[in-house]
A and B are shown apart, each in its own frame.
Chain A
Amino acid sequence: MSVVIRNLKLALPPGGDRAYAVDGVSFDLTAGKILCVVGESGSGKSMCAHALMGLLPETVTAEAGEILFEGNNLLSLSPAEWLALRGRGIAMVFQEPMTALNPLMRIGDQIAEMFEAHDLLTPKERRQKALALIREVGLPDPERAVRAYPHQLSGGQRQRAMIAMALALEPAVLVADEPTTALDVTTQAQILKLIRDLQRRRNMAVMFITHDFGVVAEIADRVVVLQHGKVVEQGTADDVLLRAQHPYTRALLAAVPTLQPPQRTPLLDRSKAVEVIGLGKTYVSGGGWFRTERRVQAAKEVSFDIFCGETLGLVGESGSGKSSVARLVMRLIEPDAGTVRIGDVDLTRIKGKALREQRRRIQMVFQDPFASLNPRRKVGNIITDGPIAHGVDPAAARKRAGELLGLVGLNASAMERFPHEFSGGQRQRIGIARALALDPEVLVADEAVSALDVSVQAQVLDLLEDLKARLGLSMLFITHDLRVAAQICDRIAVMQHGAIVELKSASLLFAAPEHAYTRELLSAVPGQTSSSKAA
């Protein structure tokens, strides 16, 4: 047994909505095995990881229990003992590799710092070791990578560098806190494989924190399910994924969307709600008197229709241009070429007052429910601002806002409260109510459920589906998550490098993908073998 956690109780500062972040949690980490700790936000999974590293926030205290590692109870270590242990005995990989690396230091120096922190090797040997580690985690062009700054690497490469750093001192235990959540699906598959390989080669114990059951199915030997700071279930991966005992685990598993699209009636005979013809957009950066400019083609000859009452999915990896297309369709940015028609109006040819009036017809639901609502305005104002700007009487607008809040499953009393008083899922409902306040014909949802926990995600998807049917909306649904796309979209367009490479009905796309990139994307979705087993 590498690490034994017994009855761990982590107390939150008084006055919060609960007394313990982690309440009586026990589990073991075993050499050569990967333990996945699964739970939704607020379940206490990250707190467990931070307790294991001695990196708890100052306001959180370990009140009871023990964490045994190499014969010591970590909870009673002195600060100096922690310094000696961190990185050497237990190392950690974080979620967001861009922010987890110092932007002003070269990758090689950041890895070499591991040895320096523990007074090991000479500076020259440290540099050689850093190079060897970079090579081991499979970064292309290792000599260049050691000299690179974090911003010069891609997300996946940065995460490889983070892993190289964590492995530098050959720790017995690796703690990985959602290490693939910020990555694209194909990159995620590579990083998962890398962690798997390294863990086997070095016989490490790995604590892998995730909210994604697909990832669990891909990588776990054992699974611990946390809810509100308590372990509700633990066992081998197969036991938990295939024979879950606890209702919460079952609910979580049931909320994971499958890759099997439900049967849907084609809507191609209806009239067109949106018509996009030959959209083109190139971003030009730099340029000037002496420098050459950089061009990124965000949209190349993008054409599609959305029929009335249809949901068209736009899927692709980061940088594929899907968000740019959403903004072009909304005319939040100006296209270089092409036409967007909403019903009978050419949105790209009007301006000024005419454009402002037409904007009512197409509204957006944003990705981040925290950043997309003005924190200084009450929910009632957030929802009524749009209608009032379009000349609706304020009293009527407020009455309508109350109805809309009811429609999205919130109480009308929410009008008098501020966004921070709501949970992520509730805020996303407010965001939807705000978009609906102008009675749009088309909703553009840009990764609208990506920031939400899986159970909340399922609820919001149901809500969108329901609203669409009741209000006769058409939807452009942008997502990187193919499972979500399978569940909500009638047809799906796959984007790569600014162009649509494949566009067909959801059921056809998943059953018979034609383009090589579509096939690559589909095969990279984690947890396919187990979910089919479970189904």
Chain B
Amino acid sequence: MISFIAQRIAKAIVVLLALVVLNFFLIRMAPGDPALVMAGEAGAGDQVFLAQLREKFGLDQPLPVQLFLYVKGILSFDLGFSFRQQMPVSTLILQRLPATLLLTGTAFAISLAFGILFGALAARFAGTWADTAITVAALIFYATPLFWVALMAILLFSVTMDWLPSFGYETVGANYTGLAHVLDVAAHLILPATTIGLFFMATYARMTRASMLEVARLDFIKTARAKGLSDTVIQRRHVLRNALLPVVTLAGLQAGTLVGGAVLTETVFAWPGIGRLMYEALLQRDYNLLLGVFVVCSAMVLAFNLITDLVYRSVDPRIEFAS
């Protein structure tokens, strides 16, 4: 178990380093050199300033040395400096990360819980109107663009009914503390989290349903029936547990991408997370920031893949840890 984790972490570090190197060359593929980009961002373009920049960031060094410095910087979580925001990139990302983790974590939990629930119900009542209703609803949420759902949700719940705030992380200027602060953030969280959650919920519901119907045909379900177990117990203990294996795989793949993938939703709801930071960086051609976000998101994906592997191994005894 321990050696397995160590092995996976070692592999993840290798992949991450490869990504960092790719990152390094990406920044050098931009027209001109990074100094020109930075000078442009800083609004000054004379040769002296450029030379200063090149010296400051080691750009006058040979390429291998630059690569070494870049990798060294990243390993000490120095992701560079954002001239637009006049702040280190790592500080910017760290500021935004909690909001994104809160949003995607909530959305992920909602989608997984309700997706599995509705999928299990659809499978249990396969062929009835309940199954049809769930399947059709899942298809609609799956097919509708996220930003459109987001806009409609704002229109309905914020503008028309005035139940929920339409944007932001908390009420600006209210300065709530304690429980009031928690409730305020929760109210702001509902719309964006549900919007993302609905899409993924649809995927999990469809996956769970299909997987359960498949497992229900397997021999050991007949064994369970031959024991005299009730249908409810069979569905829960024998069918659902086995059917969740592919759902775990899918959820693990999506969890990692969710962190960087909530760009549209965060933008529509003005949620101060990584996604919106990336969107802003993109509009402002803030290369260092953009690439910093890229590195952090990659690390997240790798981390979630590792977690998925561990979860998968704990639910499926057939995959054994090397002893």
Q: How far is the CA of A149 from the CA of B316 in the complex (A)?
A: 10
Mask for B200-230, Cβ within 8 A of A = 1, else 0?
0000000000000000001110111111111
B322 in contact with A86 (CB, 8 Å): no
A286 in contact with B322 (CB, 8 Å): yes
Mask for A282-294, Cβ within 8 A of B = 1, else 0?
0000101111100
The A contact surface, by secondary structure, is loop
B228 in contact with A87 (CB, 8 Å): yes
B227 in contact with A87 (CB, 8 Å): yes
Contact residues in B for A87 (Cβ distance below 8 Å) = 226-228
Contact residues in B for A291 (Cβ distance below 8 Å) = 3-4, 7, 322-323
Contact residues in B for A103 (Cβ distance below 8 Å) = 220, 242, 316-318
Contact residues in A for B226 (Cβ distance below 8 Å) = 53, 55, 86-87, 91-92
B7 in contact with A290 (CB, 8 Å): yes
Mask for B214-251, Cβ within 8 A of A = 1, else 0?
00001110111111111001000110011000000000
Range for the number of chain A residues in contact with chain B: 20 to 34
Is B21's CB within 8 Å of the partner chain A? no
B242 in contact with A84 (CB, 8 Å): no
Contact residues in B for A233 (Cβ distance below 8 Å) = none
A104 in contact with B218 (CB, 8 Å): no
B228 in contact with A117 (CB, 8 Å): yes
Known: A96-B219, A101-B220, A151-B317. A290 touches B4 (CB 8 A): yes
Is A423's CB within 8 Å of the partner chain B? no
Is A76's CB within 8 Å of the partner chain B? no
A55 in contact with B222 (CB, 8 Å): yes
Q: Which residue in chain A gives the minimum CB-CB distance to B322? A: A291
Range for the number of chain B residues in contact with chain A: 20 to 34
Known: A149-B318, A290-B7. A86 touches B219 (CB 8 A): no
Known: A104-B241, A151-B317. A88 touches B228 (CB 8 A): yes
Is B65's CB within 8 Å of the partner chain A? no
Is A94's CB within 8 Å of the partner chain B? yes
Is B6's CB within 8 Å of the partner chain A? yes
**Of B222, B228, B317, which one neighbours A118 at CB under 8 angstroms?**
B228
Contact residues in A for B238 (Cβ distance below 8 Å) = 102, 105
**Of B10, B223, B323, which one neighbours A101 at CB under 8 angstroms?**
B223
Contact residues in B for A118 (Cβ distance below 8 Å) = 228
Q: How far is the CA of A84 from the CA of B227 in the complex (A)?
A: 9
Is A204's CB within 8 Å of the partner chain B? no
Mask for B264-304, Cβ within 8 A of A = 1, else 0?
00000000000000000000000000000000000000000
B318 in contact with A117 (CB, 8 Å): no
Is A121's CB within 8 Å of the partner chain B? no
B228 in contact with A86 (CB, 8 Å): yes
Contact residues in A for B183 (Cβ distance below 8 Å) = none
Is A113's CB within 8 Å of the partner chain B? yes
Is A85's CB within 8 Å of the partner chain B? yes
Distance between B181 CB and nearest chain A CB, rounded to angstroms: 43
A94 in contact with B223 (CB, 8 Å): yes
8 Å CB contacts to B: which residues of A89-125?
Answer: 91-92, 94, 96, 99-105, 113-114, 117-118
Q: How far is the CA of A82 from the CA of B220 in the complex (A)?
A: 18
Contact residues in B for A165 (Cβ distance below 8 Å) = 223, 227
Contact residues in A for B6 (Cβ distance below 8 Å) = 290
A104 in contact with B242 (CB, 8 Å): yes
Contact residues in A for B318 (Cβ distance below 8 Å) = 103, 149, 151
Is B75's CB within 8 Å of the partner chain A? no
Q: Which residue in chain B gives the minimum CB-CB distance to A86? A: B228
Is A83's CB within 8 Å of the partner chain B? yes
A100 in contact with B4 (CB, 8 Å): no
Known: A55-B225, A86-B226, A288-B7. A99 touches B219 (CB 8 A): yes
Contact residues in A for B223 (Cβ distance below 8 Å) = 92, 94, 100-102, 162, 165
8 Å CB contacts to B: which residues of A282-317?
Answer: 286, 288-292
Distance between B309 CB and nearest chain A CB, rounded to angstroms: 14
Distance between B58 CB and nearest chain A CB, rounded to angstroms: 34
Q: How far is the CA of A462 from the CA of B322 in the complex (A)?
A: 49
B230 in contact with A83 (CB, 8 Å): yes
Q: Which residue in chain A gives the minimum CB-CB distance to B224? A: A102
Is B18's CB within 8 Å of the partner chain A? no
List 22 interface pairs A-B (beta carbons < 8 Å), by A numbering: A53-B226, A55-B226, A82-B228, A83-B229, A86-B225, A86-B226, A91-B226, A92-B223, A92-B226, A94-B219, A94-B222, A94-B223, A99-B220, A101-B223, A102-B224, A102-B242, A103-B316, A103-B318, A104-B242, A104-B316, A113-B229, A114-B227
Top 10 nearest A-B pairs by Cβ distance? A291-B322, A86-B228, A99-B219, A87-B228, A290-B3, A149-B317, A87-B227, A117-B229, A92-B226, A290-B7
Known: A101-B220, A114-B227, A291-B4; 16 extra A-B contacts, CB below 8 A, are A53-B226, A86-B226, A94-B219, A99-B219, A103-B317, A104-B241, A104-B242, A105-B237, A117-B229, A117-B230, A151-B317, A162-B223, A165-B227, A289-B10, A290-B4, A291-B322
